[in-house]
Amino acid sequence: MQIAFLVAPEGVEQVELTDPWQAVLNSGDLPHLVSTRSGHIQAFHHLGKADTFSVDGTVDAAQARDYGGLVLPGGVANPDALRTDKDAVAFVKGFFDEGKPVAAICHAPWTLIEADVVRGRTLTSWPSLRTDLRNAGATWVDEQVKVCTAGPNTLITSRKPNDLKAFCSTFVAEFAQGKGA
């Protein structure tokens, strides 16, 4: 199964991309890096530049139906850039329209808010998004990882890099449940 990872051209928190990417590989699935521009993306370690990664496809050409699930890594700048790109927002919304699982960590729920898919859902995130999520109609909880099935799909969220182990094992298991669907 192919899993989409949506990131902006720069600003993704590297560990929130690489750890879930490796978890997908370890599960036997194929990660696919999707961005708003072709070429390479620039990852960060907090505010400092880290590695670059090759883009596999762009959101203007990608379709949710071609993937088994979506992973939204965080970092502050990454989801802030994605939520202002109409194609990125439409791509995210497509996974909800298709009933496919979505996993988001840290600041990534900003993009979910913009796609208008959090109303009536229970999520966790970086604590500073608490008010944004509540204002968008979600219930915010302070938990290491939260699985929400109240909606058209399964939504897995997590707070921060320290939660990556639990986040990765949870979303990989949840995505695997949808393989036969």
Active site residues: 106-107
Q: Report whether 115 contacts 95 (CB < 8 A).
A: no
β-pair partners for 123: 140
Q: Please give the Cα distance from 133 to 139 (Å, whole number).
A: 7
β-pair partners for 66: none
- Alpha helices by DSSP H, listed for 27-85, are 77-82
DSSP string, 72-119: E---SHHHHHHTT-HHHHHHHHHHHHTT--EEEETTTHHHHHHTT--T
Q: Please give the Cα distance from 52 to 31 (Å, whole number).
A: 16
